[in-house]
Structures are given as C-alpha cells and as structure tokens.
Amino acid sequence: VPVQSLFASIYTEFEVYTPPNREMLFTYLKALLVHTLRLMSAHHPQPHQPSNGFHADYAVLRHLMTLINNNFRTVKRPSEYADLLHITTDALTKTARKYYGKTVTDLIHERVLEEARKDLALTDNSIKEIAASLGYDDPYYFSRLFKKVSGTSPDTYRNNLSWFSGSLHKKTV
C-alpha cells in the first residue's frame, strides 16, 4: 500500500473520529508503523565497501551483521560472534569500530532494541514478556539497557506511541 494512501486513509478516519472509527484508525496507524519499521530495517547500517574492490574487513562485517540479525536473541557477547567468525574478539572489535564507529556490543544492542521497539509498538506484551522473548531473564536489566541505549524507558516509549487516551497498550513489567 503506498504511503500516500495510508496517510489519506488516516486523515479521513481522523476527520470523522468516532468510537467505531477508532479501530479503523488504529489499523491504518499500525500499517503505517509496520511500513516504517520495514523501511528502517532495510536501511540497517552497512559498512562502506572500499573502492579498491573486495576487502576482507568488509566481508567480515557483512557476515557479522547477518549473524547478529539471525542470533541477537540468544548470542549477546562479542566474543561469541568472534568465535563464529573465526577471528579474535580484539580484531572484530577494531574492525567494527573502524567501519561503523561502534563496538560490537553497540551493534548487538541496537538490533535488540530495534526488535524491542517493534514489539512495544505492535503488541500488547508486557515488558517482562518482551524481555524474555529477546533473551533477557531479568526484565529490570532489560529496561535499564533499553533506557541506556534509547534514552527512554520501554514504558515511556510505548506510552509516547499512544496518541489517544485508552491506549491498547497497558501492560508493564
């Protein structure tokens, strides 16, 4: 669905906002959010390919990002990714910092938070349930990590998505 038609539908539903129209408005807003999240996922950080052709660091980082995307729920430590890539943790850290300007831990946390934001926006799952689904046994640790990386707590993030009173999202830790 083109974004323009989503905005037009949202605008139409908002103009005649009544309780029966509310569900339709939420449906359009969720569709817009899903579309936006897909676009953001498509633009996940990629290292710049060197102009001199194939480069070993580039291949390692591409493989790293694939591993993180496939394993972020269960593999949390940079050393585990280094083992999967058959390189040292130090070499992996230096390469990530050189091309991304971030640590491997930062890249893992960004991927976890990307998924957490999606779950907070699109589900009614509690923070505890979301934390568990992302591989964190301690929802309070997860909440602190979320706040440290994103600057806001999971509850605040979810509540800021609720434009109308009586939000569908009421569950917390």
CA pseudo-torsion sign 76, 37, 125, 158: positive
Residue 10 contacts by C-beta under 8 Å, 6 or more apart in sequence?
Answer: 25, 28, 29, 32
166, pLDDT greater than 60: no
Average pLDDT of the residues in 61-77: 95
Angle at Cα 44 formed by Cα 43 and Cα 45, nearest 5°? 110
- Kindly report the pTM of this predicted structure: 0.64
Q: How many Å from the N-terminal Cα to the C-terminal Cα in the chain? A: 35
Average pLDDT of the residues in 36-57: 61
Which of 51-60, 75-84, 136-145, 154-163 is predicted least confidently?
51-60
- pLDDT value at position 171? 47
pLDDT digits (tens, 9 = 90+) for 115-145: 999 999 999 999 999 999 999 999 999 999 9
Residue 172 contacts by C-beta under 8 Å, 6 or more apart in sequence?
Answer: 126, 127, 155
169, pLDDT greater than 60: no
